[in-house]
Structure 1
């Protein structure tokens, strides 16, 4: 688990990153800047329980690829979930809040992930445990904003102009962030049909 000082604002950006790409980097950078985060932790997961693992590259390979994409002093790359044998994001959140209670964590996800967030194990517990930042992705805006989580937490949505206050808000609280978007996706990169720059 990366180092964190008391009071730091840290974004948690989890995924299988199979492979990581410019779109991931853009999501992390938009969230970092707009939320005023000290760091973004890229949490490279052993594997997404909702996805087919047939094309999943080995964890060490994905870690190396993420380190190449997530360069810079404000980015940290970790695979602590594998060391702790964690399968679900809700358990990751529980562990982080237990180990780093004085850190202001924010969960970061692309809008494409929000559209299926209601299928995640204990998604309501995640939303009740820490603020969430959703970053727009090409073709995902409408599906994300009409998703079960967005409707369930409609009254907890923070205006985009107040995004910098999100790390200081008690959950549930979430914001939808707009900004530059990249057409890259891990699926299309694996099939050789995407722009990767």
Structure 2
């Protein structure tokens, strides 16, 4: 498997949005466009992961198939879909972000996650290192606002949270730095879409 990254140029402000994308849907595109606009990013990468270590992967389609589906959904020239993590042979986000920042210090990367991910961020391997590696933005999701902000990680990183009004400056800040973005919320989820597909088939 050949490791290929989307095109890069020094100084680019690139959002990294990771997940299984099983399947990709309009909610992913909504989050990406919100982040692109509010954070003044140049590009968004959808990192199609080999599989979430915290979830059951026994019925997960291969990364290449999920990436192909994601490309059909992205429909935005600023969004690049990549499954390079499979070629890199990593399992954890901290490994991916360390690899990228070590090799591309000239790029202003920002990690993008949903409020549901912040709620469990303290369970991720190396979550404190992730926060120390690059700025990150948390996108509000229905049903997770209060739970996310009361989470162990949010409390531990409270001192490095910046005001939402400073969102366009996030990519330029030295980590740790993060913010919580409110805005129009999309309730679509891959889990719900898979459940709907199973019901329609049966």
Q: Quickly name the TM-score band, shorter chain normalised.
A: over 0.9
RMSD of Structure 2 on Structure 1 (CA): 1.0
**Whole-angstrom CA distance in 1 between matches of 2:91 and 2:15:** 19
- Give structure 1 regions of 4+ aligned residues with deviation exceeding 2 angstroms: none
In the alignment, structure 1 residue 186 sits paired with structure 2 residue 190:
yes
Which whole-Å CA distance do the structure 1 matches of 2:11 and 2:56 have between them?
Answer: 38
Rounded to whole Å, the distance in 1 between the matches of 2:72 and 2:15 is 19
Partner of 1:22: 26
Distance 2:30 2:160 in 1: 25
Q: Which residue of 2 aligns with 1:78?
A: 82
Alpha-carbon distance, 1:147 to partner: 0.8
Question: 2:58, 2:89 → 1: CA distance?
Answer: 20
Match of 1:129 in 2: 133
Secondary structure of the residue aligned to 1:82 is helix
For residues 97-116 of structure 1, what are the structure 2 equivalents within 5 Å? 97-116=101-120
| Cross-structure match for 1:54 | 58
* Equivalent-residue separation in structure 2 for 1:74 and 1:173 (angstroms): 24
Gaps of 5+ in 2: 198-202
Displacement of 1:141 in angstroms is 0.5
Deviation at 1:16, TM superposition (A): 0.5
Equivalent of 1:92 in 92, 96, 104: 96
Partners of 1:112 and 1:129 in 2: CA distance: 21
Quote the Cα distance in structure 2 between the aligned partners of 1:54 and 1:182: 28
Q: SS at 1:90's partner residue?
A: helix
TM-score for the superposition, normalised by structure 2: 0.93
1:20: how far off? 1.1
Q: Secondary structure at the match of 2:196?
A: coil
Shift of 1:150: 0.7
The one-character-per-residue Cα deviations of 1:62-103 (angstroms, maximum 9, x if unpaired) are 111110111222111101110010111001011101221100
Instruction: Decide whether the 8 Å contact of 2:42 with 2:78 is kept in 1.
Output: yes
Give the count of matched residue pairs: 193
Rounded to whole Å, the distance in 1 between the matches of 2:24 and 2:183 is 19
Find the counterpart in structure 1 of residue 200 from structure 2. none
